[in-house]
Structures are given as structure tokens and as C-alpha cells.
Chains A and B, each alone.
Chain A
Amino acid sequence: MLIDPARETGQLTLLTNAMVREVTTDAEGRATGVSYIDTRTRSEQKVQADIVILAASACESARLLLNSTSNQHPNGLANSSGVVGRYLMDSTGTTVAGILPQLMNDPDHNCDGVGGMHVYIPWWLHDQHDRLGFPRGYHFEIWGGRGMPGYGIMNNIHTYNDAFAGPDERPKGGGGYGPQLKEDYRRFYGSVVGLSGRGEMVAREDNYCEIDPDTVDQYGIPTLRFNVNWSDAELQQVRHMQETGREILRSMDAHVFGDMPTEEQDYGITMPGEIIHEAGTTRMGDDPRSSVLNSYCQAHDVDNLFVTDAGPLVSMPHKNPTWTIMALAMRASDYIIDQRNKGTL
């Protein structure tokens, strides 16, 4: 999105297929550039820089910092606080879906448009946390419609085609074959509606990624391992998603798929990382002892080093984090320009 305008300045050199190994530093511990491997030739390369800005995604930027060890930064670059990799967050998630009989046997029509069912439900109970039993909020993304028939279409129809059965005689339960089944596929096509809840995870120090001392990737760069668990805050939130989503579907006379996930099933919550919204691994803050970056995404320990992905996020938006990333990156960019003009960076 922003690469083209940057190129138009004539000031941009773009290096692709460059897997960065570490941020290089000088004797004083300031950043001097990066070393990388050209993935086409597997040759080692270096780039010199006055300022280094990492935006490799939250976990990869943390990995780079943790892999950039030196005498000045034995625990990894910009990590005197020990916080790099910690406070790792993802969005919470769970999904409820069912068949809406009102949508069965619809006339052919084009359901392409502005996302799922043209409906989105933002968080609505922000003033009722006293009774909810969990902090923070979530939203529902609604999906369904007469999507392009593809691989896996109406998979496992035998688990639901006894719902809203037609006039034909058939054995107990779902399943079947032949003309009856073919007609069922037509009847149910486009009738499934799903509600996918996505919510805010609470940042906690003991959720973290770290360098796995035993493993390297194909370029010989040490990889990450993860220690992340949901807390009761997330589990109770997802329980609320499940109960609410089921209530919404049932109120529309839907045949809801599956039973309410139990406490033992963690209420059907996704695995940490599954929603692909990693954030918080290089959190910002005013106190260098408990944060990696200042409010301009500038490393407390290394003044010419910045991180502008989701790593700086201190808390998780329940929406997708991209716009927050962009806003913080723009703020950091303005700050860098300002400091350069003042000659202080």
C-alpha cells in the first residue's frame, strides 16, 4: 500500500528475498544496519543504516532482536528489560453456525458484496462488565450466503440434512444418496449462517515467545518457541460468545451446528496464534524497566532503532490490529523526521 508512493520519491531501494539474520551494532551498542541472507543465492549480505526500523510482524521482530546479541546486549538487542517477546497476544476466537430455514430454497441471486452477510456486530456491553465476569470486549463477524461452490462445499451434510426435512420418506437421521441427496444439496445451499467472535486478549507477562536453543531455520537462524495460554478472562469471554451466538441463531429458528462446547473443551476457543493477530512482543511504555519502546516506537536502549509492527501494542484491540499498526507507524515516522530535522537522531 505504501511502497509505491515511497518509490515515487526516488529515495527507496527495495531489497526482496532478503531474510534478515540480525541487527548489527557498533562498540557503543547503537544499531549500524542489518545482516541478511539473500535467499536466492544463500549468500550473506549487509546493509548499513543510520536508523533501523523493524516491521517484520510482532513475533519475527522479537525474534530478530533476541537473535541480535552482543557484548552490550547479551540478552538481545533493546532487551535490558527482559520484556522482548513477552506480553504476546492474539485475538480470541470462536465460531457458531447453523442453518436458517428462511434462507433455504432461495431464488438464484448474487451474494457477492461487502463481506459475509453484510452484517457486523461491534461490542455492545462495554458498560456492563460488572455482571459479565470478564474484562474487555469482542465483536461478531457474520458470514454465509450463496458463496462460490468449491472444495469442501456442504461437507458432512449427513450431520444436518435431517433438519427441515422435505416431504419425502427417509430413515432416521441425516445422510442418504441419490435424488433425495442431490435435492438436499440444492435446498441447503446458501442457508448456513455463521457468527465468528473475535475478542480482546488481556496482555500478560507470562505469555511469551523466546529463542528455541535447539532449532534453526533453513538459513541457520534460531527460531522461536511459544509459551502462551488463555486465562479465565479469555475463556469466559469466549463462553459468552458461544452462548450469545447460539441465542441469536436460535431466535431465528436456526438449526445450530454442534453442542455448546464445555468448560473442558475451553468453550471452543481457538488456539493461541490461530487468528494470526500476534501483538505485544515489543511493548511500548514510559518505563524502560517494563517496556521495550517509548511512545514513538523507539527502543529505550537503542535510540536509532524502531519497531513499527504490532509488537508495540500494549493492549489488543478486539478488531483487527492493522489500522492501529498503521497509525503508530505514522506517528513514529513523523517523530523520526522531526528528530532528523532537529539533528538529534
Chain B
Amino acid sequence: MADMERRDALKLLGLMAATSTFSFACTAEETSTGSAAATPPDGTTRPTADYTKQFFTDHEMRTVRVMADLVIPADDRSGSASDARVPEFIDHVMTDELLGDPQPRQTAMRGGLAWVDYQCLQRFDALFADCSEAQQKELLDDIAWPDAAPDGMEAGVEFFNSFRNLVASGFFSSKMGVDDLGYIGNTYVSEWTGCPDDVRAT
């Protein structure tokens, strides 16, 4: 049943947004072709502890770091995206052969970052990572809300939808993110006592 659930979940993700440009194994087409390469065998992908950057230039990495921390900042419950090494995770996703042909997602990511930089140059005369936080948020406000985005921002919206997905995948699949969500499964349970009383009482 677990395989079936995963397959359905992936399929559904494809139905929900068929246009995400560099999300992964989540288009109906990829899922329905059953491409073994579309998803790693265990459904996870992660850089090793001694991971060294494979894809991003130093500037791109800096941009990804700044933007990822705007997507998921630190708060009193957990750290930021970069605290959980999300930029390294994204770099790994860009090159991981287990996720299928890397060319389309590399182009979409690289192009999206360049689009962001060009927008910031036009508006603020500085690259995104060099802008003030207020300027960075001004740009994100134009691309982070698809239904409210001004005309002409479509490419940025598309990019940021996928970027948000990648940041969430990286952050919440890290130990920090798993702890943040309060996932406490996959442990030995000596006696099954059903759903805890306080859960359905809420």
C-alpha cells in the first residue's frame, strides 16, 4: 500500500500544478511513465556530510542562500533554511542523476536566478543578494503570491513556486525540519493503543 500511496501523492502533485518548472517527479507525465529515474529508490535524496558544491557558481550559491532564508527564516522553534543546509540540498538536486535528466531543471533554476538578478538591477541597481532586505522582500512580494502578482511577473512566479517547493523539501526532510513538524513515527511501538485521546479531542 505504501507504494500506491506514494504514487498517488506524486500523481496528485502533478495534477495540482503541472507547470512547476524544476520540481521533481511531480508531473503527471513523469509519474505516469513510471520512469525509475524520476524518483530515488527510497524517495529521498540528500547530500553527504562532506558535500562540496557541484552546480551553482559562488554568486548563485549566495543568492540561493539569501532567498532560501527569506522563504524559511529562523524562529523560536527551529533554524533557517541555510541552518538546515538547504542551499547544499538544492545544489545536489540540480545534479542528482537519480532524479532524471538534470538539464531542464538546471536551466530553469539558473534562468530563474538570473531573472531575479536582472529585476533587481533594474529596480535597485544591485544584484538580489546585494540588495537590502526591504528591497529583496519588495521583489518577492511581486512573485510569491501567484494570484496577486502584477503583470509581467509570470516567469518569476513560476520560478519562485518551484523554489519554494525545493526549500520546503530540503528543510522539512532535514533533522531540523522533521523535529520542527513533530514527526514521531518510524519508531518501535510495543503496544498499539490507537489514536491518542488528545488528538481527536482537539
Contacts and interface: CB of A to CB of B under 8 A. Distances in A.
Interface of A: 95, 97, 105-113, 115-116, 141, 143, 146-160, 162, 170-179, 181-182, 185-186, 189, 194, 196, 257-258, 268, 270-271, 274-275
A271 B187 CA distance: 36
Interface string B124-165: 000000000000010011001111100000000000110011
A257 B16 contact: yes
B195 A158 contact: no
B49 interface: no
Interface of B: 1, 4-5, 7-13, 15-17, 20, 23-26, 32, 34, 39-40, 43-45, 70-73, 75, 137, 140-141, 144-148, 160-161, 164-165, 168-169, 172-173, 177-178, 180-187, 189, 192, 195-196, 198-199, 202
Nearest to A175: B145
Contact of B146 (A151, A175, A177, A179): A175
Contacts of B173: 149-151, 153
Given A149-B181, A152-B25, A155-B165, 18 more contacts: A95-B11, A97-B12, A105-B202, A109-B195, A112-B189, A148-B178, A148-B183, A150-B173, A151-B45, A154-B168, A155-B20, A155-B23, A156-B16, A156-B26, A172-B148, A173-B147, A173-B148, A258-B15
Contact of B181 (A141, A171, A189, A275): A189
A106 B192 contact: no
B202 A171 contact: no
A149 B73 contact: no
B5 A116 contact: yes
A308 to B, nearest CB: 23
B4 A196 contact: yes
9 contacts: A111-B185, A112-B185, A149-B177, A151-B173, A171-B145, A174-B147, A175-B147, A185-B181, A257-B16
B164 A157 contact: yes
A175 B145 CA distance: 5
B164 A177 contact: yes
A219 B72 CA distance: 50
Q: Please classify the interface of chain A as helix (H, G, I), strand (E, B), loop, or mixed, using the class held by over half of its residues.
A: loop
B169 A172 contact: no
Nearest to B148: A171
Contacts of A108: 182-184
A97 B196 CA distance: 24
B8 A143 contact: yes
B169 A153 contact: yes
Contacts of A113: 192
Contacts of A153: 168-169, 172-173
Contacts of A151: 24, 39-40, 43-45, 169, 173
A258 B202 contact: no
Contacts of A111: 185
Interface centre among A162, A175, A179, A194 (most CB of B within 10 A): A175
Contacts of B26: 152, 155-156
A162 B148 CA distance: 12
A152 B202 contact: no
A30 B43 CA distance: 46
Given A146-B183, A150-B173, A270 B32 contact: yes
A177 B147 contact: no
